[in-house]
Amino acid sequence: MNQKKQIDPAKAILSWYRKHGRDLPWRHTSDPYHIWVLEIIMQQTQVSRGTEYYERFIAKFPDIFALAKATWRNVLPVWRGLGYYRRGQNMLKTAKVLVADYGGEFPSDRDELLRLPGVGPYTAAALQSFAFRKPVPALDTNLFRVLSRYYGVTKERVPELAEELYLAHPRSSAKLNHGLMDIGALICKSKKVLCEECPLSSHCHFRMIGAPLTTPSRSTRKKVECDIELAVGCLIHHDQYFLSSKKGRYSSFPAYPCATKSQTRQVLKESLKVDYKIEVAVRPPFVSIEGEYRGRSYRLHYCRCRVLKGDLNRSALRSIKRDRVKTSSWSEIDREILAQL
């Protein structure tokens, strides 16, 4: 019986990548700082959109020392619109740790990388591969999907097989990762599969059986739950901010618990009417901030509010003029968003 000649999957991937790989700006650098910025920004973000944010971030903070000198208020305008604000906050923390403890250099050791705020197994592997040229697979969703289909194994077997593949080609780690990512993004997609264009198709188990029987099952991704989720009402009238009559732990503005982001407007309308006898028009949240306070996670949704009925000056709300903000005691979180009001 005729058997197909075995191929070296790594060589097939590298050959395809040389001809068809995507020309992305960060693939022309081995600077750990640039790679780290890119990898953090690209989490939960499409490549086309993330590229704009990456270039804007690097222009504002060209190196780790520039970022370490910044405050979250400096970083926020560059980050705004990406969501998941804890990622940006962790970047700022990491920059300060690297400058203080590592002289501004990224460690190449996996365990040390994993100690940095916001650096998980994938980001650590990406840094090791792209910046330090170590034979490490950067196992993201694309790599898991392509390799599980090619070998015909479950997700649990992929790391072991990937490690063997990369150790056999130690000098090509970065290009192997880039190539597999591109194959997963362009050809071996989760739903639409273009096997005729794939360099691995001749020996791919997925294609041989004609159905995705051995691919990793798609996990149902649950929304990250917060201990505290609040709708925050930003009340501004005649150059005055109107604050809660009670000192807030998370916000100086009136803040009320809400189950989801979609409930913020209704919660604020009802709560401000009950507590302060004012009727307001509430805009959708213009920014959401995540963080932790004394071991509890929170998510704050800030909404601009306009008074339709009632007298703010006669309400129980506290007022403060805009020109006195710098000398006032605002919560740290509120200082991050004041520039947007």
Mark whether 39 is an active-site residue.
Answer: yes
Lookup result for tokens 């505290």: 228
Lookup result for tokens 């015909």: 152
Cα(166)–Cα(174) distance, rounded to whole angstroms?
Answer: 10
DSSP characters over 137-205: ----HHHHHHHHHHHT--GGGHHHHHHHHHHTSGGGHHHHHHHHHHHHHHTB-SS-B-GGG-TTGGG-H
Contacts of 71 (CB under 8 A, 6+ apart): 92
The strand ranges marked E within 208-337 are: 228-237, 240-243, 255-257, 279-282, 287-293, 296-309, 318-321
Cα(63)–Cα(76) distance, rounded to whole angstroms?
Answer: 17
Q: Write the single-letter amino acid at 263.
A: Q
Catalytically annotated residues: 39
